[in-house]
Structure 1
């Protein structure tokens, strides 16, 4: 049976990726997914910071503690089976799982954990800030994280609770890599970074067989996975950017899952062999204005913009079923959310705000957007509604990687994008939307505030850090609600929607898990009847 499946899999891979496949049913034991994956910039856990790369890392690697496919809302044991926290000493001691191995067959040791964390700090790539929050630096790391035998001791600096530290250690850059294998592929001091952006060295439920950027991903089941081998033998993710093509492939039976269908396409599905599952998401969608663009620096422009978004028009049509109006940076449904939505589409009010502030119109602004639904449709809606008040958007579509790279370089004017928390604690988004202590060009920060060159007011910076260290749980959540209200009222970031993710799939597929963020997309429980 394994030989037959391998033969069928080989036939799948010989088919052209850009055109519909020639067969009418995917092979048994192989899950074939159509998805736009061109947002991926890197797949090394020390560098990966895109949505699709997060999904990939989660399926290839493990962490000491993690949110698992069985329950994506509860922090569970991963490569550590137990841990003891000493809040006074700011120390957490982890006991590693007996007999855990990497997919290479190498045993997983305390040295691998220390190497993995230290590698993130020393490479200091985009997601490193998540771990450096713990006070870790290249200079002090050897004193902060130590390991011997089956024990790893983590020290941290900062006034926050052990629960916060555990959430940090459950995040993507805290994934554990096979230090023996990675060191074998290190070149010119890169600690294996180039190799890990084409390969994988994890202990997760799947093994990476092939990654071809903006083409395909192929993973096979890790038969020695500590939680049990995946139910499915392999997963193929085909890059299909066009939603219409995804729908056609699904209806013909050439794929099992379509990940990027539009609301109209979801509504048009009329096939008893296809079902749609909806998964609430933590991602918030926003429009932001780069403060390096002089015409966008007046707070009156920010205020008017909030009345120029046709929230209801979009949620009733182009994003129906996939987003709901939400105007604060922490998603609804999570502790600490602020769910008030005071802004509605009111172009007359927007024009009055601009006129009272002495803003001369028309204003012409370039708007960068990912060239895929629903973003292009949303951009066209914004273009039409903002024109009512004399703000003219010139839409600049690009691949996900192009748009995100431009955003990180602060070379955009206006940006339509979305943001998901790096870990499930409100500080993750507060740091992104309400904190920027150094706005200079040479101090890169992976936040929406820095990327939009917004020098956050000092009192807001202080409140953000005070909320992080607040020991009373409810008081802390109230502080985050207050920060959300302030960002909602006055900032160059207009938060509009919270995502709800719809996935169309063959009726025979069960067990697909799509948690609230891209880090919680799991294939290990998938079965095909």
Structure 2
């Protein structure tokens, strides 16, 4: 079989793109995807915090409420059929629908309470999202209570129930099968190790196979309350190289290629392939660790904003993949700040450094994911920053390696991207403009803490005030003001907002790719 596959690929390489699509075809009831999935660190929804992990969680787990495939802009019922909010009492009461987990076990109110409690008690990376509601390991059992077929969620904090619903639509609020999970508990880990290679959800698919940096296989859940998906399996193959993804797509070995370059997209001449573009919520940024003394002067941060060749990148190798955006909340969402005051200006950057007495050259290591287009972006930054005496030594690594290093605060410069944890501007405001405790032992899943930036108290207070503001129009303006301040004075240089262009076989219909990886849905796909 290996010899046959090698021969097939060699033959495909020798054929024009318009001919190879007829060579092979994937099964009619299976969707095969070529994708770079080496960013996965964890799959347990109580721990998963990577982009690919979010996509997988969405397809195997349900939440009480969520943004569904039919319309990713509207908060809709999930495992809850309805809910009643009492802002004065700071409670929301949910009525649970009649549903089953993929295991066949019924979805019970007890599973909801267990799922929320488990996230808080394990206290892994995404736990802070639910902890925002004032939940702790000591009080969680009284904050989420059961009465017959209803679950009442209490929260503490100066925010509205709309914010709480967005939190409960997020990844760590996924509902897991308590009976199945606890049957696989090891050494008091509440099933964490097992859930990082298996699934225990009620969603449209079951994760039936996971081999890191190789393959993920999802199998249709015949018990799914909305009906079993048409695709009996979704196979996601780890293919890091864009050229290989292109070959697999044009030869018919995969149905979807997710990481093609703009040149490859424009070169797809076969009638058997179509291209779809999906606006994304992810923002791409360059950041400087404030543990590195040479990177602490604000003049370095300001000069950096004039050393990015924004137009040069978006008009060449990033064309169709990104647009210039220089604030932390993505364009197209309420509360976004869309002004782009910075342009590539080496002389201005030099003057800023000189006026502040900053000595150059400055040598900086730059960590970057070793895949397209990140390495291309890093090389562009290396060339333009060198013009002002800031020399980047590029350190490529897998997505997991780069993200782990970032979380440990052991980098100097970092080229990375960030998507909202939930669809509320506070999600990114907390990540980019809030850090009230910068100590090493206060691990926080924000870019501010990871770059060891002790955010000024004034900005911390502004973020807290915006969260509490009940008037939505006023609240949006407050977030715009926060973005403007962070844009002007921060060691985090936001450069672009992503646009995802995906190539797929013409017979694929119903694929949904929303603004974040948590909004990627396979359950409506047909072929």
TM-score between both structures, scaled by the size of structure 1:
0.96
In the alignment, does 2:52 pair up with 1:52? yes
Aligned partner of residue 498 in structure 1, secondary structure: strand
1:280 aligned residue: 279
More moved, 227-236 vs 417-426: 227-236
CA distance in 2, matches of 1:381, 1:230: 43
Q: CA deviation at 1:148?
A: 3.3
Q: CA deviation at 1:508?
A: 0.8
2:17 aligned residue: none
1:102 aligned residue: 101
In the alignment, does 2:494 pair up with 1:495? yes
More moved, 265-274 vs 311-320: 265-274
CA distance in 2, matches of 1:27, 1:120: 38
CA distance in 2, matches of 1:94, 1:510: 34
1:451 aligned residue: 450
Kept in 2: contact 1:109–1:149 (CA 8 A)? no
CA distance in 1, matches of 2:121, 2:63: 19
2:336 aligned residue: 337
Q: Deviations over 1:216-255 (max 9, x none)?
A: 0001111221112112111000000000100011111110
Aligned partner of residue 393 in structure 1, secondary structure: strand
Structure 2 counterparts to residues 396-415 of structure 1, below 5 A:
396-415=395-414
CA distance in 1, matches of 2:126, 2:118: 12
Aligned partner of residue 28 in structure 2, secondary structure: coil
CA distance in 2, matches of 1:401, 1:151: 39
Kept in 2: contact 1:368–1:398 (CA 8 A)? yes
Aligned partner of residue 264 in structure 1, secondary structure: helix
CA distance in 2, matches of 1:20, 1:283: 37
Q: CA deviation at 1:20?
A: 8.7
Q: CA deviation at 1:24?
A: 1.4
Structure 2 counterparts to residues 108-127 of structure 1, below 5 A:
108-127=107-126
CA distance in 2, matches of 1:31, 1:473: 41
Kept in 2: contact 1:325–1:498 (CA 8 A)? yes
Q: CA deviation at 1:264?
A: 1.3
1:8 aligned residue: none
CA distance in 2, matches of 1:21, 1:138: 59
In the alignment, does 2:29 pair up with 1:29? yes
1:317 aligned residue: 316
2:88 aligned residue: 88
Q: Deviations over 1:30-71 (max 9, x none)?
A: 100000000000000000000000000000000000100000
Q: Deviations over 1:282-322 (max 9, x none)?
A: 00000000000110000000000000000000000010001
Q: Deviations over 1:83-126 (max 9, x none)?
A: 0000000000000002x000000000000000000000000000
- RMSD of Structure 2 on Structure 1 (CA): 1.4
Aligned partner of residue 510 in structure 1, secondary structure: coil
Aligned partner of residue 73 in structure 2, secondary structure: strand
Unaligned runs of 5+ in 2: 13-22
Runs ≥4 in structure 1, deviation > 4 angstroms? 19-23
CA distance in 2, matches of 1:20, 1:125: 46
Kept in 2: contact 1:243–1:261 (CA 8 A)? yes
Q: CA deviation at 1:15?
A: 7.3
1:251 aligned residue: 250
Q: CA deviation at 1:505?
A: 0.4
CA distance in 1, matches of 2:147, 2:520: 32
CA distance in 2, matches of 1:93, 1:477: 27
2:20 aligned residue: none
1:379 aligned residue: 378
Aligned partner of residue 72 in structure 2, secondary structure: strand
In the alignment, does 2:446 pair up with 1:435? no
1:168 aligned residue: 167
Structure 2 counterparts to residues 123-522 of structure 1, below 5 A:
123-522=122-521
CA distance in 1, matches of 2:208, 2:289: 40
Kept in 2: contact 1:259–1:503 (CA 8 A)? yes
Q: CA deviation at 1:473?
A: 1.0
Aligned length: 514
Aligned partner of residue 509 in structure 1, secondary structure: coil
Q: CA deviation at 1:149?
A: 2.4
Aligned partner of residue 118 in structure 2, secondary structure: helix
Aligned partner of residue 287 in structure 2, secondary structure: strand
1:7 aligned residue: none
CA distance in 2, matches of 1:254, 1:225: 28
Aligned partner of residue 482 in structure 1, secondary structure: helix
CA distance in 1, matches of 2:85, 2:10: 53
CA distance in 1, matches of 2:100, 2:24: 38
Q: CA deviation at 1:156?
A: 0.2
Aligned partner of residue 71 in structure 1, secondary structure: coil
1:63 aligned residue: 63
Q: CA 1:461–1:20 in structure 2 vs 1: closer, same or farther (change >3 Å)?
A: farther
